[in-house]
Amino acid sequence: MRPTRILAAAVIGVLAVTATACSETKHKGGSDSNDATQSSGPKKKGGTVTIANTAGQTWTCNFNPFNPAVYNTSIGFVYEPLIYVNTLKNQAETPMLAKSYKWNADKTQIDFTIRSGVKWNDGKPLTAKDVAFTFNLMKRVKSTDLYALWTTAGLQSATASGDRVTLKFEKAAQPYFYAFAHQVAIVPEHVFGTGAAAAHPDTWVDKKPVGTGPFEVDPCSPNNIQYTANPDYWQQGKPYIQKVEYPAYLDNGPANLDLANGKAQWGSQFIPGIKQFYLDKSADNHTWSPPVQNVSIHPNLDPSHKMTSNLKVRQAISLAIDRDKVSKIGVGGQEPAANQSGIVTPTFDKYYDKAAVEKAGFDRPDPARAKKLMSGLGYSPSKPLKLKIITITGYTDWDASLNVIKQNLKAVGIDLTVQDLAQQTMVGKLYTGDYDLAYYSQQTSGPTPYYELRQVLHSANTAPLGKNAASNWERYKNPKVDQLLNDYASASETEQVAIVKQVAQYMLDDVPVIPVVEAVDWFQYNTKDIAGWPTEDNPYAQPAAYNFPDTGQVLTHLYSKSAQ
């Protein structure tokens, strides 16, 4: 989502012409060549993977897992979490540094049993004390508490005894499990507890990260990080891949070029015209980009914005938009159409109430009903309501999507003006509520739709106009929804599904935001030599290379075909 797409698109536009002009068009085979090799079982070691994920900067060679500018190059590769939670597979859990865990009845206390026999890559053993130390470090130095565990989540103590670590919370903390078990990377006390690292764990430059993970950094230069396999990794026989190259791509264009010509095998950004530019280049090139959250129109619900705070206008907008067409024309079919309930399908199908969406009439575009709603307010195509929508300049796929939306709305009596703003300006306006309509992607996702819905709808995440709202930018306030979202924490798993469905019902009734398409994890992969990639049939991890600690899962599954 970097605003570099104009240029990228230009490069690709030019290149696409050559692709058709001077290369024979090959079509993607029906089945993946790595189907046969999906079978588990130990693999021989060897091979190299090159990642093409736009970094937008040269590497600083800092691997401090608390520094949010660099943590995705260390967590997953070198540092590991307690439990891996798979967003794409119904929160399926893989025990990592914790062998197992146990909640108490009201989910205010959790006991982790730490795996024995795990070694830091400097040879020292991992202990429960390291784990407790990591959490207590976040209490001592607030800027390292990236997920607000000691504040919002209500963590009260983290103690170790024997091989067990106990976290105590002041209230039910199940929704934060994803943060503290899955996202927090465990660091060694003997490194972060001494010297400069102990004094300033947030600003400390971690050149040679000491972790438990499958890879070690060796060496790092501004242009490229090379990871080599950790020979003493605790998962016996893994990783199969012996080397990972992570060049610092400054822009999508060159990264996509290297993907297309096979120099890089693991891609993680938008490729415009992917069929011609990438898939047709080789039968070994594949893409699978699973949706994880929504790209939505955020209407300003504050009463001072008369039109967008009117439910009928919002209903009309949602009904008028032909989401399939937006998906097809706006983003070349690479992002699927969303639905008004805000539940991302098929990823979270379990929470999706199709009948409710149908009952509310949002299962297909209904311009006739939208037109009726608008004419009830005194507007028609000949006398349209004028509305402005802000978006980020350079996001050409969003511009294309908005163009389709504009056409859709024109037919029902809304004249939409698209205002392209620089990213900082746009985001500033969005946070402070200085807009009528905004086209933006909710940033946070989690292993269930609860995480996104809570961000968008809970009134704790909003603020008065003029103040920065955290994530409820449309300023939606509904005590009933707040209550539901609060109840989620202590609910059982089946109750949680029911709660999400109830919240989704409010999305249909109140139309607080209007999801248009589903944002995906960008993922392209090459199977010429490397196999074991996550696929639609085997979604064992979120596939994009910027997702940590999912990278750790992918890296321990990949293997080289030629080494077998």
Partner 1 sequence: MRFILRRLGFFLLTLWAALTLNFFIPRFMPGDPVDALVVRTRGRVSRDALEQMLTSFGFKPDQNVVVQYVDYLGHMFTGNWGRSIGQTLGEPVTKLIGGALPWTLGLVGITTVLAFVLGTLIGTVSGWRRGGALDAILPPIFVITSALPYFWVGLLLILVFSQGTGGWLPANFNYDTTIVPGFSPGFVGSVLSHAVLPAATLLITTIGGWILTMRNNMITTLAEDYVRMARAKGLGSRRIMYGYAARNAILPNLAGFAMSLGFVISGAILIEYVFNYPGIGYLLYNAVQNVDYPLMQALFMLFTVAVLVALLAVDIATVWLDPRARAKG
Name the 3-class secondary structure at 553.
helix
Cis-peptide, bond into residue 219, ω within 30° of zero: yes
The binder of partner 1 chosen from 156, 166, 203, 538 (CB under 8 A): 203
Tell me which stretch binds partner 1 (CB under 8 A): 198-206, 209-217, 313-321, 334-342: 198-206
- Single out the residue of 399, 380, 381 nearest to residue 389, CA to CA: 399
The binder of partner 1 chosen from 5, 9, 11, 416 (CB under 8 A): 11
Looking up tokens 């608008």, which residue turns up?
Answer: 374
The minimum distance between CB 420 and partner 1, in angstroms, equals 14
The Cα–Cα gap between 442 and 158 comes to 32
16 or 411: CB nearest partner 1: 16
Q: How many residues bind partner 1 (CB under 8 A)?
A: 63
The binder of partner 1 chosen from 111, 163, 245, 529 (CB under 8 A): 245
Cα–Cα distances in Å, from 153 out to 101, 163, 415, 428? 18, 24, 44, 27
The minimum distance between CB 141 and partner 1, in angstroms, equals 8
The answer to whether the CB of 461 falls within 8 A of the CB of 455 is: yes
- 15 contacts partner 1 (rule: CB under 8 A): yes
- 139-168 residues in contact with partner 1 (CB under 8 A) are 142-148, 151-152
- 418 contacts partner 1 (rule: CB under 8 A): no
71 or 351: CB nearest partner 1: 71
Secondary-structure breakdown of the chain: helix, strand, coil percentages, each rounded to the nearest 5:
35, 20, 45
The minimum distance between CB 127 and partner 1, in angstroms, equals 26
The answer to whether the CB of 230 falls within 8 A of the CB of 121 is: yes
Radius of gyration of the chain (CA): 24
Tell me which stretch binds partner 1 (CB under 8 A): 11-19, 76-84, 209-217, 533-541: 11-19
Helix or strand holding residue 368 (H, E): helix 367-376
- 459 contacts partner 1 (rule: CB under 8 A): no
The binder of partner 1 chosen from 65, 76, 214, 253 (CB under 8 A): 253
The Cα–Cα gap between 316 and 318 comes to 6
Query: Any idea what DSSP says for residue 135?
Result: H
The binder of partner 1 chosen from 443, 483, 562, 564 (CB under 8 A): 443
Count CB atoms within 10 A of the CB of residue 346.
13
The Cα–Cα gap between 554 and 162 comes to 31
104 or 221: CB nearest partner 1: 221
The binder of partner 1 chosen from 125, 376, 428, 464 (CB under 8 A): 428
Tell me which stretch binds partner 1 (CB under 8 A): 82-90, 121-129, 440-448, 555-563: 440-448
29 or 56: CB nearest partner 1: 56
The minimum distance between CB 527 and partner 1, in angstroms, equals 22
* Interaction pattern, residues 255-284, with partner 1; x per rule: CB under 8 A: --xx--x-----------------------
Distance of CA 437 to the CA centre of its chain: 23
Tell me which stretch binds partner 1 (CB under 8 A): 2-10, 101-109, 336-344, 350-358: 2-10
Residue type, 109: Q
* Interaction pattern, residues 32-71, with partner 1; x per rule: CB under 8 A: ------------------------xxx-x-x-x--xxxx-
The Cα–Cα gap between 59 and 206 comes to 13
The Cα–Cα gap between 85 and 81 comes to 10
- 222 contacts partner 1 (rule: CB under 8 A): yes
Cα–Cα distances in Å, from 4 out to 8, 10, 15, 242, 462? 6, 10, 17, 33, 30
At 563, list the tokens: 């080494």
The Cα–Cα gap between 313 and 319 comes to 10
Interface with partner 1 (CB under 8 A): 3-4, 7, 10-11, 14-15, 18, 22, 56-58, 60, 62, 64, 67-70, 142-148, 151-152, 183, 200, 202-203, 205, 219, 221-224, 245, 247-251, 253-254, 257-258, 261, 422-425, 427-428, 431, 442-444, 455, 468, 470-471
